[in-house]
Structure 1
Amino acid sequence: MSTGTLVLRSTRVVTPAGTRPATVTVTGGTIAAVGPYGAAPPPGAAVTDLGDDALLPGLVDTHVHVNDPGRTEWEGFRTATRAAAAGGVTTLLDMPLNSIPPTTTAAHLRVKQDTARPAAHVDVGFWGGALPSNTADLRPLHDAGVFGFKAFLSPSGVDEFPALAPGDLEAAAARIAELDGLLIVHAEDPARLERAPQRGGPRYADFLASRPRAAENEAVNRLIAVSRRLGTRVHILHLSSSDALPAIAAAKADGVPVTAETCPHFLTLTAEEVPDGATEFKCCPPIREAANQDALWAALADGTLDCVVSDHSPCTTDLKVPDFGAAWGGISSLQLGLPAVWTEARRRGHTLADVARWMSAGPAALAGLHRKGAVEPGRDADFTVLAPEAAFTVDPAALHHRNHVTAYAGRTLHGVVRSTWLRGRRIAHDGALAEPPAGLLLERQRSA
C-alpha cells in the first residue's frame, strides 16, 4: 500500500457522476478526494499528470479460471494476475474449478489461498463450489469468506466438479438462501444438450448446433423459478442466448433476486466469422450470430445484463485440437477484455463511463466489493489508465497468459492500457509489471 500522498491528474477522469477533467488525491492507498483539474496538490504530494489519457476505476473481473494448483500448466496465479494487471484488471475472483483440488471445502480454499498469496499481482478473491455431495460444506466455505457458490447444471468438463441434478439444485439453493449467499450458475440444460446433434469435427456450424439457445433458455427459466420460490440470490454466468433476456428482465421487474453477466467474446466475436477448425473460438455456451450479439448490447444498455466479465478459461495449446467436439472449450481474454469491449462499444456509440459501469462497478456490486468499482472518495485507489484512441494489433506472444492461445490474435483493437494502479501503487506500466507482487487476498465482507 502507498503510504504517501499521491495526485493523479487527467482531462478525462471517469467517475460515477460522469467523465470530466479532475485531480484525484490518494492517501494511504485510498481515494481521499476527486477535485477540480486545476486544484493545487497538497504539499509534498507526488504528482502524475496523465494528460488526455483516461483514468478509469480498476476493472473487477469476477469470472476467472486460474486453475492453480493442479492444472498450473494451463494457468497459474502469477501468470494470470500479471495478465490481469497488464489489461487494467485490479481485482479478480477465481472460479472453484479447474484446479485440483476444487474449491469445494474450507480446507481446499486454504490450499488455493496459500498458492495465490505469494504470486498475486492484483487482489484476488475466491468463489466456492456447490456439488451434489458438498451441501454440508457450504456454510464452512461461506464462513471462510468465499464470495458465493458456483454450480453447473450440465457437465463441467472435469470429473472432480459434477453438475447439480434438479434435486441437488433445490438443496443447494435452499442452503445458500439460509446463508443469504449468492448462487452463480453455468446455465445450460443437460437434456436439451443431449438431444442436440453432436457431430464433432472442424465445422463451427456443427458445434453451434450442438449448444442450442434452447439449452440456455430452459436453464435460465429453471433458475428464475428457483430464485422466485426460495428467495435465493442467483447470478447467471456468461449469458450467450439473447432469447433468455425477456425472462430475465421480467424476473427483475417482479423483484426476483436474479442478475446476469455476459462476456467480451459474446459482444465482439460472431459465429459468422469463426473459421472452421479455429477452436480458439470454442467456448460453452458458444459465440452466436451477429443478430444475437446486437440484442446482448441492447440488454447491457437497458440494465437487463448487469456486467461484463472475461470467463478467462485457458488451457495448453495441445488441447485446442482442430475438432470442435474434442477441443477444450474456453477463451483466454483476461488481458484483452477492456480493449475488446471498448473497440465495439465506441463503434456502437457507448462511452467509457458505460464500460466502467459494466466492467468495474457492476462486477464489484455483484460480489459486494464496496471499496472497488469507482473513482470516488473512500474507495481503494485502484485505477486503469487508458489511451482510448490508440490502437494495437494483438500479438499472442506479447500476452502474459501462460499459454498464448487467443481468439483475438491478429485483431486490431482500440484502447491501450498505459498503466494500472492498485491501492495507489503503479503495478503495470506500458506492459511491464512491478515486482514484487502487491495483490492481497480478499474475503467476502461480512454483514454487520
Structure 2
Amino acid sequence: MELGSTVRAVRSQRVLVGDEVKPAVILIKDGKICQILSDRDLSAADACEVLDVGDSVVMPGVVDCHVHVNEPGRTSWEGFWTATRAAAAGGVTTIVDMPLNSIPPTTTLGHFHEKQREATGQCFVDTAFWGGVIPGNQLELRPMIQAGVAGFKCFLIHSGVDEFPHVTNSDLHSAMKQLQGTGSVLLFHAEIEVQQTSEENGDPCQYSSFLQSRPDVMEVEAIQTVTELCLQYQVRCHIVHLSSAKPLKLIQEARQAGAPLTVETTHHYLSLCAENIPSGATQFKCCPPIRGSHNQEQLWSALKAGQIDMVVSDHSPCTPDLKRLESGDFSQAWGGISSLQFGLPLFWTSASKRGFQLSDVVRLLSRKTAQLCSLDHHKGSLTPGFDADLVIWDPEREFKIEEENVHHKNKVTPYLGVTLQGVVCSTIVRGHLVYSEGSFCPRPLGKHLLIPQRTNQAQL
C-alpha cells in the first residue's frame, strides 16, 4: 500500500480489542474507526482493500504527552519536521509539545499562536500543545485554555533556560485561582532546591557526583507542595517525570484524601540505572537524575500496582556540543534524553520480562496519556468513532539502535548500540499510512489538536 494513502481496513491475527488480543478486521471511514469485526465476519470488508498484516500486533498508536520539540528558536536542537517523523517511526501517532525550550516559550496567547504557525505543514503525526506557567502570566492562562492548549507546565526549580523562569508559592496560588473551574491541568517539574549537607567537591566526570547533587529529597519536598495545592484548590495536577520512588507514599495519601493528582515516569528511569552509567557519559544526564537499580524496581512495582499512571519519553534533545561529550563534565552538560522514537520498544523490552501484557502497554502509553491532555474522547483506544490511529508492530522481533536508523535531528542518545525487543512496522494516523518499514509518507499529514475547554475535574 502506498505511503500517504488512505487505509480502508486493517486485518491481523493479533488486534488488541479492549484488553483482549484476537483476530479482527478494523474498518476505517473518514479517518475514524468505523467497525471492528471478528476475522470470520468479513462481508462488510469485502468492498474495500484490506491491509493484511498477518500476525503483527495492531494497537492504538502511542500518545506521547511529554515531548520537547524546541521550535521556534532552538530548531537546531529539534523541530516539528524531525520530531514528528521520529514519532511516526516509533508508532507514536500523537505528541504533546512542551512550552519550553522554544523561543519564545508558550506562555502567552500570542506565543501560542506563533508556535502553531511554526508547526503548520510540518507535522507527520497529530500534535497538541502545552502552555506554561511562569511568574506574572496568570492572566494569559484562561485565554490560552480558550484557544486550545492541553494544559500548563511549571517548574519549582530553575528550568535550564532563562526564558522559562520557575514559579514561587505566590505565583502558584495566582495560577491555581485562574485554573479553578476550567477543567485544565497543571503539570509540575517537581524538584526544589534543598540545603545540601556536604560540600559538592566530587569529580564532575563521575555520574555519582551529579546524582548526589540532585537527591531524592528534592522531589519529596516538591511533591509535598504539589499535594497541598492540589487538595486546597481541587485543580487537576500532574507530576511529570517522577524519578524517585520515595514520594509515592505522599502521592497515594493525597489521592486517598481526594486530590485529583496523577503522575508519570519515563522510559529512561525504567530502562537505565545509575550503577551502569560510565564516567564522562553525559548523554545519560537528565533532571531529575537516573537513580539506582533498587529505586528502579520500586518504580516498576508502583507501575504494576497502578500508583504511577503513565509512561512518557520526556524527549529533550540538544545539539551534541551542549552535551559536553569531549570533557565528560556532568555539571556543565545539558540535561535531557532523546527517546521519542524508541519509547514503545524501550518499554516493552523491560516490561515484557516483568509480566506486563500488551493491554498494559496501551493503558500506560496511549490511554492514560490521552486522558491527561483531554484527548481521550478520540485518541488512545481502538473504539468505533475514535480516530484510526494505529501502530502495527512485532513485539517478538529484535533490533539494534544505530545512528543510521535514528530519525531525531541529533543522534546523541544513551541508547546507541542497545538491542531492543519490538519492531514498529507501520504507523497509521487518522487512516493515513504515514510510516512503513523505514519509509515515510511524502508530505506531513498530521494536524493540530486544539483541546475544547472542559469542566470535568474527575481524577484520571
- Could you tell me how far apart the structure 1 residues matched to 2:202 and 2:108 are? 37
The CA deviation string for residues 2-54 of structure 1, in whole angstroms up to 9 with x for no partner, is: 99771111111113232222111111110011121222143421101111110
**Within the alignment, does 1:270 sit opposite 2:294 as a pair?**
no
SS in 2 for 1:380: coil
Matches within 5 A, 1:108-187: 108-187=111-190
The CA deviation string for residues 348-375 of structure 1, in whole angstroms up to 9 with x for no partner, is: 1111111111000010011110200011
Give the aligned partner of residue 346 of structure 1.
352
- Could you tell me how far apart the structure 2 residues matched to 1:194 and 1:44 are? 72
- Could you tell me how far apart the structure 2 residues matched to 1:111 and 1:282 are? 30
Give the aligned partner of residue 458 of structure 2.
none
SS in 2 for 1:405: coil
- Could you tell me how far apart the structure 1 residues matched to 2:244 and 2:273 are? 12
The CA deviation string for residues 158-201 of structure 1, in whole angstroms up to 9 with x for no partner, is: 00000001221222122222433210010001235798837561
**Within the alignment, does 1:381 sit opposite 2:385 as a pair?**
no
Closer, same or farther: CA 199–244 of 1 in aligned 2, 3 Å = same
- Could you tell me how far apart the structure 2 residues matched to 1:343 and 1:258 are? 28
Closer, same or farther: CA 225–51 of 1 in aligned 2, 3 Å = same
8 Å CA contact 1:396, 1:406 repeated in 2: no
**Within the alignment, does 1:48 sit opposite 2:54 as a pair?**
no
8 Å CA contact 1:183, 1:233 repeated in 2: yes
The CA deviation string for residues 305-343 of structure 1, in whole angstroms up to 9 with x for no partner, is: 111111000000011111110000000000011100000
**Within the alignment, does 1:394 sit opposite 2:401 as a pair?**
yes
- Match 1:426 to one of 433, 446, 453: 433
**Within the alignment, does 1:259 sit opposite 2:262 as a pair?**
yes
Matches within 5 A, 1:21-100: 21-40=23-42, 41-100=44-103
**Within the alignment, does 1:214 sit opposite 2:226 as a pair?**
no
- Could you tell me how far apart the structure 2 residues matched to 1:82 and 1:320 are? 23
The offset of 1:276, in angstroms, is 1.1
8 Å CA contact 1:9, 1:49 repeated in 2: yes
Give the aligned partner of residue 300 of structure 1.
303
Gapped regions of structure 1 (runs ≥ 5): none
- Could you tell me how far apart the structure 2 residues matched to 1:261 and 1:194 are? 29
Is the deviation greater in 44-53 or in 256-265?
44-53
**Within the alignment, does 1:371 sit opposite 2:378 as a pair?**
yes
- Could you tell me how far apart the structure 2 residues matched to 1:29 and 1:36 are? 20
8 Å CA contact 2:5, 2:432 repeated in 1: no
Closer, same or farther: CA 193–174 of 1 in aligned 2, 3 Å = farther
Matched residue type, 1:96: P
Give the aligned partner of residue 440 of structure 1.
447
**Within the alignment, does 1:19 sit opposite 2:21 as a pair?**
yes
The offset of 1:255, in angstroms, is 2.0
Matched residue type, 1:347: K
Is the deviation greater in 5-14 or in 236-245?
5-14
Give the aligned partner of residue 333 of structure 1.
339
8 Å CA contact 1:26, 1:32 repeated in 2: yes
SS in 2 for 1:437: coil
Give the aligned partner of residue 101 of structure 1.
104
The CA deviation string for residues 92-144 of structure 1, in whole angstroms up to 9 with x for no partner, is: 00000000010001110111101111100000110000001211111111111
Give the aligned partner of residue 360 of structure 1.
366
SS in 1 for 2:246: helix
8 Å CA contact 2:314, 2:337 repeated in 1: yes
8 Å CA contact 1:5, 1:45 repeated in 2: no
Is the deviation greater in 35-44 or in 391-400?
35-44
- Could you tell me how far apart the structure 2 residues matched to 1:410 and 1:200 are? 27
The CA deviation string for residues 50-91 of structure 1, in whole angstroms up to 9 with x for no partner, is: 111100100000000000010000000000000000000000
8 Å CA contact 1:2, 1:28 repeated in 2: no
8 Å CA contact 1:200, 1:325 repeated in 2: no
8 Å CA contact 1:61, 1:91 repeated in 2: yes
- Could you tell me how far apart the structure 2 residues matched to 1:240 and 1:232 are? 23
The offset of 1:378, in angstroms, is 1.1
SS in 1 for 2:435: strand
Aligned positions, number? 448
Matched residue type, 1:26: I
Give the aligned partner of residue 419 of structure 2.
412
- Could you tell me how far apart the structure 2 residues matched to 1:366 and 1:312 are? 18
- Could you tell me how far apart the structure 2 residues matched to 1:296 and 1:14 are? 26
8 Å CA contact 1:146, 1:443 repeated in 2: yes
Closer, same or farther: CA 198–128 of 1 in aligned 2, 3 Å = farther
Closer, same or farther: CA 442–405 of 1 in aligned 2, 3 Å = same
Closer, same or farther: CA 195–155 of 1 in aligned 2, 3 Å = farther
Q: What do you get for the CA RMSD once the two structures are aligned?
A: 1.7
8 Å CA contact 1:177, 1:230 repeated in 2: yes
- What TM-score comes out, normalization by structure 2 length? 0.94
Matched residue type, 1:85: A
SS in 2 for 1:101: coil
The offset of 1:282, in angstroms, is 0.4
Alignment identity in percent?
A: 47
Matched residue type, 1:437: P
- Could you tell me how far apart the structure 1 residues matched to 2:189 and 2:198 are? 19
The offset of 1:381, in angstroms, is 0.3
